[in-house]
Copies of this chain bind each other. A is one copy, B any other.
Amino acid sequence: MKIAVIGCGTVGSGFLELLDEKQALLKDKYNFTPGLVAISDPKVGSIYHEGGLNIKKILSLIENRDNINDYPYGEKGWDSLKTIKDSNADTIVEASPTNIETGEPGLTHIRTALEMGKNVATTNKGPIALAYHKLHDIALRQGCELRFEGTVIAGTPAINLTIYPLAGIKIKEVKGIVNGTTNYILTRMESGMSYEEALREAQQKGYAETIPDADVKGWDAVAKIIIIANVLMGGNVTVGDVERKGIDNITLDEVQQALKDNKHWKLIARAGKENGSIKASVTPEVLGEDDPLSRITGVTNAICFTTDVLRDITISGPGAGRRETGFALLSDLIDINRVKGGK
């Protein structure tokens, strides 16, 4: 497998770290020897070498100089599309910034790669939330793989769990805590902090952005529940269809009042059937103690799938983090290698 990384920010470099560290394990356990041939990123720069790149050297350049322009050999300056089209990579790791309104630039990256029969592993929510069915059809037609574990709760394998080990199940309903930032804020409010204080702390810890709207107003959770609804439940949900309410109007009083009754405020993403089609929502809810999601605290995320044969299957784990999300890409590549004829 020859890999090009399109978008090499925190997640892309987290992925490269793991690809480097896990080399021996991948070879021993899966007979899998992936090589990196290209990186293209508007900030850290672009480099292509058909014979392969030294990952340690790349990571050290990113860490020490914030760019890879001094890499000693290879073609420099290729943009993302040229890298996808003209490099000898057979597999594209797409980790460019997400845009939930247009899906770009990721959508064009992914479509271009798939049309050329190149496998794609992505952590980019926008393209999958907006265009999963179309992209899936291209991959099927071209005989290549489209993977996106990292679009929903980082490397916690909620997506691949459902598509592969749970193949054959029917998912009737989904209910989840799919945003780490808001869950962290709500958890801190239970320990007595105001919303503003908790948000500030989340920002200091790097969980929340300076403009925190994508998280606290529920947009990030909306993208994730759309992916769940469309990919795992066969829905056709668009952003405008999702009832959305953030956590930014929940008061410390409300959180503390609930706590007195052993109840917990959580930002809950839901998908289920309603009048024959799949409906999705993201709204704060007060959960009783008996609800398994009520005990999910901090940046941990969890998704409960209500199924036909197995009733409730719940998976929980980290919902964010550069290595945690980078791992999703690595696990996607291992499975691509497996179905494409590896061990």
Residues of A whose CB lies within 8 Å of any CB of B are 18, 22, 25-26, 29-30, 149, 154-157, 160-161, 164-170, 292, 295, 300, 309-318, 323-324, 327, 330-331, 334-335, 338-339
Q: Is the CB of A161 within 8 A of B165?
A: yes
Q: Is the CB of B316 within 8 A of A313?
A: yes
Most buried by B among A165, A292, A324, A331: A165
Nearest to A149 among chain B residues (CB) is B165
Nearest to A295 among chain B residues (CB) is B295
The answer, among B22, B156, B315, B339, for a CB contact under 8 Å with A339, is B339
Q: Is the CB of A168 within 8 A of B317?
A: no
Given A165-B335, A168-B331: 4 more A-B contacts, CB < 8 Å = A26-B168, A167-B335, A314-B315, A315-B315
Q: Which residues of B contact A311 (CB under 8 A)?
A: 317-318
Q: Is the CB of A165 within 8 A of B168?
A: no
Q: Is the CB of A327 within 8 A of B315?
A: no
Nearest to A315 among chain B residues (CB) is B315
Q: Is the CB of B313 within 8 A of A327?
A: no
The answer, among B22, B168, B295, B314, for a CB contact under 8 Å with A168, is B22
The answer, among B156, B160, B292, B339, for a CB contact under 8 Å with A313, is B156
Q: Is the CB of B164 within 8 A of A165?
A: yes
Smallest distance from the beta carbon of A336 to chain B beta carbons, Å? 11
Nearest to A338 among chain B residues (CB) is B339
The answer, among B29, B310, B327, for a CB contact under 8 Å with A309, is B327
Q: Which residues of B contact A170 (CB under 8 A)?
A: 25
Smallest distance from the beta carbon of A226 to chain B beta carbons, Å? 20
Q: Is the CB of A324 within 8 A of B338?
A: no
Q: Is the CB of A324 within 8 A of B309?
A: yes
Q: Is the CB of A316 within 8 A of B331?
A: no
Smallest distance from the beta carbon of A334 to chain B beta carbons, Å? 4
Q: Is the CB of B334 within 8 A of A168?
A: yes
Q: Is the CB of A331 within 8 A of B22?
A: no
Q: Is the CB of A155 within 8 A of B310?
A: yes
Q: Which residues of B contact A323 (CB under 8 A)?
A: 309
Q: Which residues of B contact A25 (CB under 8 A)?
A: 168, 170
Q: Which residues of B contact A338 (CB under 8 A)?
A: 164, 167, 339
Can you give 27 contacting A-B residue pairs, CB < 8 Å? A18-B168, A18-B309, A25-B168, A155-B309, A156-B313, A157-B166, A157-B313, A161-B165, A161-B315, A164-B165, A164-B335, A164-B338, A165-B165, A166-B331, A167-B335, A167-B338, A168-B327, A168-B330, A310-B317, A310-B318, A312-B316, A312-B317, A314-B314, A314-B316, A315-B315, A338-B339, A339-B339
Complex Cα spacing A330 to B30, Å: 24
Q: Which residues of B contact A316 (CB under 8 A)?
A: 292, 312-314
Q: Is the CB of B318 within 8 A of A156?
A: no
Complex Cα spacing A311 to B316, Å: 11
Q: Which residues of B contact A310 (CB under 8 A)?
A: 154-156, 317-318, 324, 327
Report if A167-B309 is in contact (Cβ < 8 Å); known contacts: A161-B161, A292-B316, A315-B314.
Answer: no
Nearest to A304 among chain B residues (CB) is B316
